[in-house]
């Protein structure tokens, strides 16, 4: 059985007919009887549905904590300075391989962010019944829109012909296969299936696993690493910064997906059979194989200061991290992150507050004008 990560940061005390909750220095006063009733009706799936998004009283504390974390990481793509990226892009100082990686990043993520946003909305959020889980999921959908907007910022700043780039990638077999593999189980789930049936609950669990652990948690990372490695060499730093922020968002999406999955299994132990666990491992195995094909297309030879072998190991490393976090058996022997510098980049970024750093970026940026500071708060 998997370990349930519940960190109750919430204090609860009774006061007459009220119950008082304290969470992160905020106090909520609720009617005791009504609160108890709502709490009893809360389930990941098949719980009480209410038109009002009744987050209180919190049952799934971790989802609300992740929501707060997501909100604290808020960023805006179109104020990121792209002047240095522009002059480098228009110079002859970038190799063809480096250009290819940037184009691949734009081409792949333009479709991938849409697939994630659409699936979280129509498959995951739609089937959840507990308000705080829906609430956090809705925030994730908003972040996928920000990620799509960041691609628009890149496309317009570099004056890339989107149709040309998209057309270039539509026919790359590894991208086609990767997207088809992740979306193949979605149409049925979008129709609204009976989630009281074990086999259907398993389909739902597999969709959450596929989107958040395989796609966001494994298949996004190699291309992230390639682009951040360019940034590390002081190339395309505006794009690098946007990808750093995106990666930081993805780590919350992965955590939220894992948490929902854990709670779902906890409430519906009939899902978690040996066969189903094996099915998830096999699904990840297929996702890893497709991702390795994709890496070989992106980086057919060692370049941008990195070796193809390291990238292939990085795919294994991330896949195993996702599997073991759910108590599932791992697939490879890679135990160490081949890109330790990347962990550092992600960690440092967590310390950086977008709004504190943005003022300087705004002042030094030639591309950002007429931005009202108040618009963003």
User: Which residues would be at the binding site for Mn ion (CB under 5 A)?
Assistant: 216, 250, 253
- Of the two residues 243 and 276, which places its CB atom closer to Fe ion in the complex? 243
In the list Mn ion, Fe ion, none, the entry touching 134 (Cβ below 5 to 8 angstroms by class) is none
- Of the two residues 85 and 216, which places its CB atom closer to Mn ion in the complex? 216
248 binds Fe ion (CB under 5 A): no
Q: Which of residues 287-316 bind Fe ion (CB under 5 A)?
A: none
Least separation in angstroms between CB 253 and Mn ion: 4
Please identify, among the stretches 89-97, 106-114, 158-166, 333-341, the one whose residues bind Fe ion according to the rule CB under 5 A: 106-114
d(CA 369, CA 173): 41
134 binds Fe ion (CB under 5 A): no
Least separation in angstroms between CB 253 and Fe ion: 7
- Of the two residues 144 and 313, which places its CB atom closer to Fe ion in the complex? 144
For 34, phi then psi, to 5°, come to -65, -40
59 binds Fe ion (CB under 5 A): no
Least separation in angstroms between CB 46 and Mn ion: 26
147 binds Fe ion (CB under 5 A): yes
Least separation in angstroms between CB 249 and Mn ion: 6
- 3-state SS track over the chain: CCCCCCCCCEEEEEECCEEEEEECCEEEEEEHHHHHHHHHCCCCCCCCCCCCCCCCCCCCHHHHHHHHHHHHCCCCHHHCCCHHHHHHHCCCCCCHHHHHHHHHHHHHHHHHHHHHHHHHHHHHHHHCCCHHHHHHHHHHHHHHHHHHHHHHHHHHHHCCCHHHHHHHHHCCHHHHHHHHHHHCCHHHHHCCCCCCCHHHHHHHHHHHHHHHHHHHHHHCHHHHHHHHHHHHCCCCHHHHHHHHHHHHHHHHHHHHHHHHHHHHHHHCHHHCCHHHHHHHHHHHHHHHHHHHHHHHHHCCCCECCECHHHHHHHHHHHHHHHHHHCCCCCCCCCCCCCCHHHHHHHHHHHHCCHHHHHHHHHHHCCCCCCCCHHHHC
- Answer positive or negative: Cα dihedral of 91, 153, 77, 362: positive
- Of the two residues 216 and 316, which places its CB atom closer to Mn ion in the complex? 216
Least separation in angstroms between CB 113 and Fe ion: 5
139 binds Fe ion (CB under 5 A): no
For Fe ion, the nearest residue by Cβ is 147
178 binds Fe ion (CB under 5 A): no
For Mn ion, the nearest residue by Cβ is 253
Least separation in angstroms between CB 91 and Mn ion: 33
Least separation in angstroms between CB 138 and Mn ion: 13
- Of the two residues 81 and 144, which places its CB atom closer to Fe ion in the complex? 144
322 binds Fe ion (CB under 5 A): no
- Of the two residues 56 and 141, which places its CB atom closer to Fe ion in the complex? 141
- Of the two residues 70 and 104, which places its CB atom closer to Mn ion in the complex? 70
Least separation in angstroms between CB 250 and Fe ion: 6
Binding positions for Fe ion, rule: CB under 5 A:
113, 144, 147
């Amino acid at each position: 059985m998997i370990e349930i990560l519940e960190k109750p940061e919430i204090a609860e005390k009774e006061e007459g007919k009220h119950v008082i909750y304290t969470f992160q220095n905020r106090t909520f006063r609720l009617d005791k009887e009504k609160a108890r009733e709502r709490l009893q009706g809360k389930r990941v799936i098949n719980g009480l549905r209410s038109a009002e998004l009744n987050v209180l009283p919190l049952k799934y504390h971790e989802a609300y904590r992740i929501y707060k974390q997501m909100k604290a990481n808020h960023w805006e793509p179109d104020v990121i300075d792209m002047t240095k990226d522009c002059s480098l892009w228009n110079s002859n100082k970038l190799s063809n391989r480096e250009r290819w990686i940037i184009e691949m990043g734009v081409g792949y993520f333009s479709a991938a962010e849409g697939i994630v946003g659409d699936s979280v909305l129509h498959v995951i959020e739609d089937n959840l019944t507990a308000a705080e889980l829906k609430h956090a999921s809705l925030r994730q959908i908003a972040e996928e829109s920000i990620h799509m907007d960041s691609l628009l910022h890149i496309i317009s700043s570099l004056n890339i012909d989107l149709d040309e780039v998209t057309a270039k990638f539509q026919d790359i077999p590894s991208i086609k296969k990767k997207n088809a593999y992740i979306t193949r189980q979605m149409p049925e789930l979008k129709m609204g299936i009976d989630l009281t049936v074990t086999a259907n609950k398993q389909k739902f669990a597999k969709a959450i696993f596929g989107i958040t652990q395989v796609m966001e948690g494994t298949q996004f990372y190699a291309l992230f690493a390639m682009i951040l490695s360019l940034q590390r060499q002081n190339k395309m730093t505006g794009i690098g910064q946007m990808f750093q922020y995106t990666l930081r968002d993805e780590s919350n999406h992965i955590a939220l997906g894992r948490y929902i999955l854990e709670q779902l299994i906890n409430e519906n132990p009939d899902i978690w059979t040996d066969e189903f666990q094996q099915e998830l491992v096999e699904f990840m195995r297929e996702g890893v194989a497709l991702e390795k094909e994709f890496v070989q297309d992106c980086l057919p030879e060692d370049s941008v200061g990195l070796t193809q072998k390291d990238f292939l190991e990085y795919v294994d490393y991330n896949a195993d991290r996702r599997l073991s976090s759910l108590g599932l058996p791992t697939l490879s022997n890679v135990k160490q992150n081949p890109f330790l510098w990347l962990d550092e980049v992600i960690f440092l970024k967590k310390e950086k507050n977008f709004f504190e750093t943005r003022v300087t970026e705004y002042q030094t940026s030639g591309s950002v004008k007429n931005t009202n500071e108040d618009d963003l708060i």
